[in-house]
Structure 1
Amino acid sequence: MPNQRRSTMQVSFSAPDIHELFAERRARQEPAFAADLNEQVIHFPEKICDGWLRRLQLRPGMEMVMQNFHFRDALSLAIQEKGNISLLRFGFGITGETNGKIAGQNREIQFRAKHFAVGFTTDADTGTIEYARGQQNLLATYLDLDTLNTLIGQQLEYLPKELGQALAGQPMPLYLQTGRMTPAMEFVTQQVIHCPYQGLTKRLYLEGKVLELLALSLHQIAEEASTSTQKKTLKASDIEQIHHASEILLSNLEAPPSLMELSRLVSLNDYKLKIGFRQVFGTTVFGYLYQHRMQRAQALLAAGERSVSAVAELVGYTNLSAFSTAFKRKFGLSPNSYKQRR
């Protein structure tokens, strides 16, 4: 069985270890697996964590995984995973933080909330993963390279260079791109987590979201690459102030400051603020505010405890018609229709 230490648990997992832990659950008559035709839920043994992993096979070559874990202590896992050597994985951090290192690769990988990662390894994955104490929520999607090739067609020039090389059959031991999630990515991940459908409708809906997340991820990688030279003009202190500006907006959705007021509050001129938002968040200041206002409005309407007019005021709209127009542009439904469907 895995070796354990009290302060930071060091666990080395092999296939027999995992089988033994799940066998213990079965012996106690605790269900470890629940599944239907296209969906499987794995409840993890308490020696690892409290939580579950939900795996959905959307179509051949396309899979989605949702992880919901709670670690009572910081946990370090030694991993060895073979197979699935031609899968492109793109993951999105919802809560928590992990750090990892792939054996033979001189590179540390950090993955935390509100960040995404796109990549794959063409060899067996071995190394370590360290999980911080507390809640860990992650959404990951997988596409095999044949499926991705079918989607991309002959347009490899539009992909990040390393990914295009891998699809063209060139040897590539490791491909990994990371970045901060845009508001659009955050919004789509929440749509996935709160998917309202079942059966075939659910599968088709989630297939569309996988493609949407793929498009958003590749677009963001391309945007960051194209603006890498410009980014050098932003100092670390500038980027810190851009994040501070975003926090001010999120704390004041009902009555946000004007662009000039926001510039003054974070001690950046309005030009640098606008450029900074595009480079850090992939959208304008207004676009960032709009995305989060709509996300908040959706959550409030889904809760069903407030009227449409009250929700509009809470997210900063004094004109109900303007709020309805903005909401319908985002979700395809009026606020009243959305609330009634919930």
Structure 2
Amino acid sequence: MLAIYPNQKYIPERAVIMASSKENTVKTEAIIPRGTRYQIHAVGMKGKILTTEIQKGLLLTLSDFTLDKKLEIDEQYSNQEIFQLSFCIEGEFQWFHQNENTIQQYRLGAQECQIRFGALQQCHSTFFGGRKYHSISITLDKSRFEELFHCIYIRQAICILEKNYPVKVYRYTPRINKLLSEIEECVLCEEVRNIYLHGKILELIAILCDEVMCEAAINHYGVRIHEQEYEALLKAKELINQNYAHPLTIAEIAKKAAMSESRLQKGFKQCFGLTVNDYIIKKRMEMAKKLLESGNYSVSAVAWMVGYTHTGYFIRRFHEEYGITPGAIKKINK
């Protein structure tokens, strides 16, 4: 897998990448001259880390990957000012920032978010083999988003890198979860994609301020979700993520999530905007698209791999989801 960071302002001056397993450790060290693109090559890393400059002073990073072995990345900067919002969708991210007088440890779990600001000198990130990492990060130029920064700052919701204050982590709401999905799944043509994403990112930050930092704990449908019930629904969602090809029944999911079947069905739709069955189909279609784009499998094989016994039905559902047939996807990626 290859990760590329296009904006010169935020690339480190020096980077050390260390991949380790029981058998061996491979260490790569590089000094990154100004004017070059910062790229990370990691053997055994499957997925993507895609950073896009939506507009001047606004970067969007989509990360969705797994690792075969433990990976550590140590990056050194020259007091680079950073204003960044991070949203963890799946997995658990661990890293620390080190400046002259402080070391701040960070840990961000599924459905959690955090905002950081300050002068960055060193960042050390650790990723473990066999785990999935899925997140969205937004990096802003404070000088261009001064009003937005002030809105967040007065709510005392920012982790200041130079201060040894307690790290602030927030559980984000179902409405924010829906916006993150819309950002990640945008398939508009290149000419209008950034316009759409710019609007969605600003909407995301506004809702974050209103629903999370102002503690207006209300979801997109106007129904309040208690913390304990929300945790159970997150567990149900994770069960589906792990078993969508051969899904559990509603009764099995409800039992494992420790909630009633009726509350599971109603709460899942309220929190995630889809019924349980629609979410299973969505996960199947996402994996089918990835398998087809790899070019390694036939349409019938992909249908079977994501849980469909009838290829014709799979083709129809895929076309309804993406507006293109599985066969056409295979031809494009030959």
Pair in the same fold by TM > 0.5? yes
Seen in structure 2, the aligned counterparts of structure 1 residues 60 and 249 have a Cα distance that, compared at 3 Å, is: closer
> What is the aligned counterpart of 1:231 among 197, 216, 225?
225
* Residues 53-72 of structure 1: pairs in structure 2 closer than 5 A: 56-65=52-61
Is this contact kept in 1: 2:58–2:139, CA < 8 A?
Answer: yes
Distance across 1 between alignment mates of 2:321 and 2:211 = 23
The aligned residue for residue 298 of structure 1 is: 289
Structure 1 spans left out of the alignment, 5+ residues: 1-17, 23-27, 45-51, 150-162, 196-200
Q: How many residues align?
A: 280
The aligned residue for residue 332 of structure 1 is: 323
- With 268-277 and 89-98 compared, the bigger mean Cα shift is at 89-98
> What is the aligned counterpart of 2:268 among 264, 277, 295?
277
CA shift digits 1:108-166 (9 cap, x unpaired): 85324x44536354xx34799664453677653334578779xxxxxxxxxxxxx9793
SS at match of 1:330: helix
Seen in structure 2, the aligned counterparts of structure 1 residues 59 and 324 have a Cα distance that, compared at 3 Å, is: same
Distance across 2 between alignment mates of 1:223 and 1:171 = 15
The residue type equivalent to 1:142 in the other structure is: T
SS at match of 2:224: helix
Seen in structure 2, the aligned counterparts of structure 1 residues 326 and 33 have a Cα distance that, compared at 3 Å, is: farther
The aligned residue for residue 166 of structure 1 is: 150
Structure 2 spans left out of the alignment, 5+ residues: 1-11, 17-27, 42-47, 159-167
Is this contact kept in 2: 1:62–1:142, CA < 8 A?
Answer: yes
Is this contact kept in 1: 2:70–2:126, CA < 8 A?
Answer: no
Seen in structure 2, the aligned counterparts of structure 1 residues 309 and 33 have a Cα distance that, compared at 3 Å, is: farther
Distance across 2 between alignment mates of 1:211 and 1:63 = 13
Distance across 2 between alignment mates of 1:247 and 1:66 = 20
Structure with the bigger percentage of strand: 2
* Residues 186-225 of structure 1: pairs in structure 2 closer than 5 A: 189=184, 205=193, 208-209=196-197, 211-212=199-200, 215=203, 225=217
The residue type equivalent to 2:224 in the other structure is: Q
Distance across 2 between alignment mates of 1:213 and 1:331 = 24
Shift of 1:253: 2.3
Seen in structure 2, the aligned counterparts of structure 1 residues 210 and 94 have a Cα distance that, compared at 3 Å, is: farther
Is this contact kept in 1: 2:14–2:32, CA < 8 A?
Answer: no
Structure with the bigger percentage of helix: 1
Distance across 2 between alignment mates of 1:33 and 1:95 = 33
The CA RMSD over aligned residues, in Å, is: 5.4
Seen in structure 2, the aligned counterparts of structure 1 residues 60 and 188 have a Cα distance that, compared at 3 Å, is: closer
SS at match of 2:247: coil
Shift of 1:269: 0.8
* Residues 89-100 of structure 1: pairs in structure 2 closer than 5 A: 89-92=85-88, 97-98=93-94
Instruction: Return the TM-score normalized by structure 2.
Output: 0.56
Is this contact kept in 2: 1:41–1:55, CA < 8 A?
Answer: no
Is this contact kept in 2: 1:77–1:130, CA < 8 A?
Answer: yes
* Residues 246-285 of structure 1: pairs in structure 2 closer than 5 A: 246-278=237-269, 281=272, 283-285=274-276
SS at match of 2:139: strand
Instruction: Return the TM-score normalized by structure 1.
Output: 0.55
Is this contact kept in 1: 2:303–2:311, CA < 8 A?
Answer: yes
Distance across 1 between alignment mates of 2:153 and 2:231 = 39
